[in-house]
Copies of this chain bind each other. A is one copy, B any other.
Amino acid sequence: MQSIENALELILSNKQNFGTETISIHDCLDRVLAEDIYADRDYPPFNRATMDGYAIISQDINIGKNNLLKITDTIHAGEEKQFALESGNCIKIMTGAPVPKRANAVIRIEDTHINGNEIHFNVKQLKENQNIAIQGEDARKGDLLIKKGTKLNPNSISLLAVTGHAKLEVYKLPIIAIVSTGNEIVAVESVIQPHQIRDSNVHTLKNSLLNYCISAIQTALIVDDKIALKNTISELLNTDIIIISGGVSKGDADYVPEILKHLGVIEIFHRVSIKPGNPLWFGKMPNGGVVFGLPGNPISVQVGYKVFIESFIRKCFDMEPIEPLFLPLLGEKSKKSNFTEYFPCKLTHENKKSGLAINKMNTSGDISTTNNSDGIAIHPSEKQTIEKGEFVEFYFW
């Protein structure tokens, strides 16, 4: 039996290289960058007005006095004017427009009084570069802006657009197959008998993978029959990842480990001191791909995906591990086993401070406990009781 740390190390050390591909910025949400993104020029690219107003030379202005300047021109955003501002003059300027040379402040319209071609300024204070965003203050040409291994979200895609990355290099998506096993399992569309259970694991896994843009190429539901299992799995040995749920425990009909070994998949470990999800099986296919065998309870699949499979996929994409939150538990929790326990929690708050409420859970066969949860918190192996108010490690689903 492996500790979670050892199991994760063994899983991550089998990381794969899926290769990279070039895609358009228009189709990159949730894809993972395979290149570093640098600033193509200074940002702002020029001294830019941050208000509608008048570009002036601050030395022309006496604070608290009435100052008269001549308006010689107007600059809109998107216009380029090469001249330098001369002392005694000012230029009307719009938000976003380049501030002309020698101008070192923009005075907002509200602090002015216009009289034909002349304008009176009366300001109570004037700072150097007031209402000007200075060239390069946000980023310098060549600065690293987005790191390889970043999963692209609307804000990072916005930054890709600003810096002119219409095409980008991302990691190719792995080919993944999902197999559900179990005599008691039927598909959601089937008529169900009282002793049967509908397959939910394929839906958990398929949709979790979609968060990384990965569409499982094949999903199969097979009964606990050695020949059927062997035939189905043998056709999947050319994939990058096979995820099997069910059939990995010690029961009479738990044929998965035996069949996998028979098909040349090398067992790397079986069983982890985690709850739920202890009978996890992990192995390597002849083609270099990997197989995860998860126990069949819905929550075991949800936790097993989160802790092991998602970590593996992120590693293959050169992503950082997910950072936990550390939040107080708003209840007490005891355990008897010396396993590490993951338990579903809901974010809530007491006196405007965030904390975690523990979701009710009867057994790891529960179907509803994770539905109303925001994620899972960790009850460390060596700890019997977590007191109310103690800080725990928490991961969003």
Which A positions have Cβ atoms within 8 angstroms of B?
Answer: 25, 29, 41, 43-46, 48, 50, 52, 74, 76-80, 92, 94-98, 109, 133, 137-139, 145-146, 153-166, 182-185, 188-189, 192-205, 207-208, 210-211, 223-224, 249-253, 296, 298, 302, 323, 325-327, 347, 349, 352-354, 362-371, 373, 391, 393, 397
Contacts and interface: CB of A to CB of B under 8 A. Distances in A.
A50 to B, nearest CB: 5
A158 B326 contact: no
Contacts of A92: 252
Given A96-B197, A154-B205, 14 more contacts: A46-B194, A78-B185, A79-B195, A92-B252, A138-B362, A138-B366, A145-B368, A155-B302, A155-B397, A159-B367, A159-B368, A164-B198, A326-B352, A327-B354
Contacts of A366: 43, 133, 138
A28 to B, nearest CB: 8
A391 B353 contact: yes
Contacts of A184: 77-79, 96-97
Contacts of A76: 183, 224, 251-253
Given A96-B296, A138-B366, A164-B192, A158 B204 contact: yes
A137 B79 CA distance: 70
Contacts of A161: 188, 198-200, 202-203
A253 B185 CA distance: 65
A165 B182 contact: no
A369 to B, nearest CB: 7
A45 B366 CA distance: 11
Nearest to A279: B95
B157 A207 contact: yes
Contacts of A326: 349, 352-354
Contact of A79 (B138, B154, B183): B183
Contacts of A139: 367-368
A259 B182 CA distance: 63
Given A298-B162, A365-B133, A371 B194 contact: no
Contacts of A210: 29
A338 B124 CA distance: 19
